[in-house]
Structure 1
Amino acid sequence: MRALVVDHSAAAHLSLAETPDPAPAPDESLVRAEAVSLNYGEVRGAAGPQTPEGSVIDWDAAGVVVKAAADGSGTAEGTRVVTLGEAGWAELRAVPANLLGVVPEDTGLGAVSTVPVAGLSALHVVRRSGPFLGRRVMITGASGGVGRYAVRLAARAGAELVAISRNSAQADGLRSLAAHEVHTDPAAVEQPVSAVLDNVGGQQLVDAFAALQAHGVLVNVGRSSEAGAVFPPGALRGDEGRHDRSIRTFFLFAGPATDFSADLAWPAAEVAAGRLDPGIRWRGPWTRYQEAAQALLGRRLRGKAVWDIG
């Protein structure tokens, strides 16, 4: 089969190559990928010297089951699915049932391929940070892949949304997703919030924490700024009505052998119905991998990128 493999001699550190077909375990379905979506962390990881030559990386893909799992788990041959796993940017992937969600018929697989990392992260962190009904909630990195999903999901949960995006051109789009306020910096937010979903880290994390009201919680989902978070003296004091605030970390795979099948299928159906917008900003054949990867690495892409496999 063909796959994109790590090639540190190439401009985007990726090259198309022939690799062996995967050999599914008894509890794995063989899926032919039709679309994959990119995450900044994967593309950056491919460019890192610590990633071995020839590695096949990636988490997100949607396609069709071409061989059902031998033990009867998973879904039947011919089922359209969205999948999560380290199976790589490849034509075929072996996927266990807990990392595979069924996709409605006649659904564009390109759009639902964005669900696994971004959609699941947003869904799980919104669940863990709620209930949101009637609460002011700040989301940093709101125009990114996880951020867009989080804005829409938190709004549907009844939150008054304060969206933070360094790109002011994203303001109208975020308001269309139901954001009540849009700012380029958390420091510009005047009224306190009861929760923060932080996708950026660095100074934005520090400033977002300062906006928390008493008993508020900040959940750090991502660190796209790649900068340290340095708190000034007194930032963690509990006076002036800002006591008992907390910072929590988030990791999608925090539990062993987590069953994501239902949580993959639900947002895929919501995307198919138009109730969730993944914010695809780049789409093309995977032969144009270099163009999309460099756009992500250069921070020129706000939203998701999708490659069509074929």
Structure 2
Amino acid sequence: MRALLVDSTSPSGLRLGETADPEPAPHEALVRVTATSLNYGEVAHRDEAPDGTVLGWDAAGVIERAAADGSGPAAGTPVVTIGEAGGWAELRAVHTGLIGIPPAGADPAALSTLPVAGGSALRALRRIGDTLGRRILITGATGGVGRYAVQLARLGGAYVIATTGDPAAHGNGLRALGAHEVIAAPEEADAPVHGVLDLVGGPQLVAAYDTLGTHGTLVSVGHVTGQPETFPFGALYGNDGRHDRSIVTFYLLERPDIGPDLTWLAERLAAGDLDPQISWRGGWDRADEAIATLLDRRLHGKAVLEIT
């Protein structure tokens, strides 16, 4: 099969080439991939994988061969999938618990944006708890996860506060997605919040934690700054009257049970309740271009490669 392979001799670290077809385990289906979306984390760390590796977390396509153990969808079923690797290829073997089934006719390119970005946003918001009528702060809201988080929090009845480094440039777009307020930094929040979905890490996580009210929860999802989280002495005491506040770490693939969530997200997308916010779309022969745009922070939203 053809695939985007890690290649340390290539300027982009990747090349289109041939590799062996994957051999599915009994609980895995074989999927013929039609579209994959890029995520900053997998692209930024691609050079850490051995040459010849097929990366790729997100992929949409069609079941080529159903799982041998009888689980999962039948051959010919359109699907959206997630995994720790293998999405940047014509064929992908994937655990049937990591497969969602979209409505008929859904755009594979749009579906491919859902697994990591939409799945992370959905499950992180669940960790916060009830959002109906609650003030929810989302840091780094212009990225793929952030844009889905804004939409899902608004669908969940939250008062949504979004942060971005450039509110003048991105404020209108985030408000169109559902943000009630768009601010440059957590310190600008004018009242305590019930929950934080932090997609940045570093000093911004520390500042975001300081916005939490009593019983509030911060879910740490992103770590793009590469900086440590250093809390000033006394920050965790609650001497200001705000007690029982939590910081929760997050890992999307803790259990292979995200399939129903992907199905639900695909239904919301097909119904028009969610906007995939595709900012770049093209054939996988243009992967170098998409990767450069993503790494240079010139892409706000999702980049999708169509597998041809």
Shorter-normalised TM-score: what interval?
over 0.9
Q: Secondary structure of the residue that 1:305 maps to in structure 2? A: strand
Counterpart-to-counterpart distance in 2, 1:309 and 1:192: 46
Deviations along 1:120-151, one digit per CA (max 9) or x if unpaired, are 11111111212011111100011111111111
1:143-292 equivalent positions in 2, closer than 5 A: 143-168=142-167, 169-255=169-255, 258-292=256-290
Give TM-score scaled by structure 1 length: 0.95
**Match for 1:83: what amino acid?**
T
Structure 1, 161-170 or 107-116: larger mean CA deviation: 161-170
Q: Deviation at 1:105?
A: 1.1
Once the 2 structures are TM-superposed, how far is the Cα of residue 230 of structure 1 from its aligned partner?
1.8
Deviation at 1:87, TM superposition (A): 1.9
> Which residue is 2:76 aligned to?
78
Aligned-CA RMSD value: 1.3
The code of the aligned residue for 1:100 comes to: I
Cα offset for 1:231?
Answer: 1.8
- 107-116 or 123-132, which deviates more: 123-132
Note the alpha carbon deviations across 1:74-117, whole angstroms, 9 max, x for none. 11111100011122300011122111111111110000101111
Greater CA drift, 20-29 or 85-94: 20-29
Unpaired segments ≥5 residues, structure 1: none
Distance 2:60 2:162 in 1: 29
Residue 257 of structure 2 aligns to which amino acid in structure 1? D
Give the drift of 1:219. Answer: 0.9
Deviation string 1:215-248 (CA, Å, 9 cap, x unpaired) is: 2111101112222122223322312222222211
TM-score (norm. length: structure 2): 0.96
Matched, 1:90 2:85: no
Residues of 2 paired with 1:174 and 1:120: CA distance?
19
Alignment of 1:94-105 (within 5 A): 94-105=93-104
Return the alpha-carbon distance in structure 1 between the equivalents of residues 71 and 246 of structure 2. 41
Q: Residue by residue, what CA displacement relative to the aligned partner does 1:19-48 show, whole Å, maximum 9, x if unpaired? A: 01112223222111000001001001113x
Q: Tell me the residue number matched to 1:294.
A: 292
Task: Name the amino acid aligned to 1:270.
Answer: R
| 1:17 counterpart = 2:17 | yes
1:114 aligned partner = 113
Percent same amino acid among aligned pairs?
55
**Structure 2 alignment gaps of length 5 or more:** none
Q: Which amino acid aligns with 2:176?
A: S
Deviation at 1:199? 0.5
Matched, 1:30 2:30: yes
